[in-house]
Amino acid sequence: MTERPSASSMLTDEEQAFRAAVREFAEGTVRPRVAAMDEAAKMDQEIIDACFGMGLMGIEVPEDLGGQGGTFFQAVLAVEELARVDPSVAVMVDVQTTLFENMVLRWASDELKRAILPRVCKDTVAAYCLSEAGSGSDAFGLSCEAREDGDAYVLSGHKLWITNAGEAGVFAVFATVDKALKHKGITCFMVDRDQPGFSVSKKEDKLGIRASSTCEILLDGVRVPKSRVLGEVGQGYKVAIETLNEGRIGIGAQMVGLAMGAFEHAMRYTQERQQFGKPIADNQAVQFQLAEMATLIHAARLLVYDAARRRDRGESFVTEACYAKLFASRAAERVASEAVNLYGGYGFTHEFPVEKYYRDAKIGQIYEGTTNMQLQTIAKRVMGGDLP
């Protein structure tokens, strides 16, 4: 489909070229494998290798550390374009870039950066381990403990809902060094998959984004050298908060791409499907449905791009990130639902692509902070004077 002026006019020539390259990759390499990956609930290793080969797994990382030396905005564009074809692949790249690598770039020592970043840019998938059974929206009510032992910390506990866990080789694990300190005891540790006592356990059987692995992590006396602490002991709360603010923009981009993919399928189908001797797209009611969908996508994209631009300029973007995730996740669910409606009975079957977008959309209102958490943050900041 020809790029619409409303989308391309928001981008520089360099960004348009980058977007076109990612789109070509998504269409040529990812799309042929989407249905099979969804059916198998497993990411194709060839897709993972291809994402590394394209440089998509290290967009913002400086070139001297193995990355592409790009911008946060470019990472957002990549997530959007991948999600247009497969939101599962998009979230793998999103966690790698907007969460894990940004966190390491900002908080790690030079030594730790050199130890971690070249690996995750070249061939090692990363995972971000914060959630637990008793700490979802209350992200810092952690029970996972880190006991100091000489020149190391010993980690015990378990984590749930960890994206990329099935494929990851390195994990950012949040644990508390002292529960009495509450959030001030939370610390982030860099843990390798092959360390004794560390294991990836149950893989969740999910409604959507099925190719993206979501697993439980078990930690049974995992010994982590103090040199593998990210930032300082007790800084984990701040590390997580700042990283999640950026991650919400990435999820917003995923939802925009998802909505765009569903919309494009619906547009084509309504022009091809004949009823009463004419394409159903000739009916004004259908045209109005498509118009509503297009408006939602455009508004969501503007919010996501604004938040990403603010982040790259070093401006405050917390409220804007919440706006973006809140609206884009709702827009994606609405657009995907309308796409199913426009397909009629065919839309309710696995044979046609829109039902997958509908299944994939639901998670957007849950992970990286639920809809209620976005509303709570927005309300607090607006009441504090951060007006739209």
Q: Give the residue numbers marked as catalytic.
A: 368
Cβ neighbours, 10 Å, residue 372: 11
| Neighbour-count burial of 36, counting CB atoms closer than 10 A to its CB (0-12 exposed, 13-18 middle, 19+ buried) | exposed
Tally of residues, the chain: 388
Choose among 309, 323, 294, 328: nearest CA to 80. Answer: 328
CA angle 59, 64, 65 (to 5 degrees): 60
Tokens, residue 329: 């996740």
List, as own/partner pairs, every contact residues 238-244 make where C-beta atoms lie below 8 angstroms and the sequence separation is at least 24, other chains included: 239/103, 239/106, 239/107, 239/188, 240/130, 240/139, 240/140, 240/174, 240/186, 240/188, 242/103, 242/106, 243/99, 243/102, 243/103, 243/106, 243/128, 244/99, 244/139, 244/368, 244/369
Picking from 178, 192, 108, 189, the residue whose alpha carbon sits closest to that of residue 145 is: 178
DSSP string, 262-280: HHHHHHHHHHH-EETTEEG
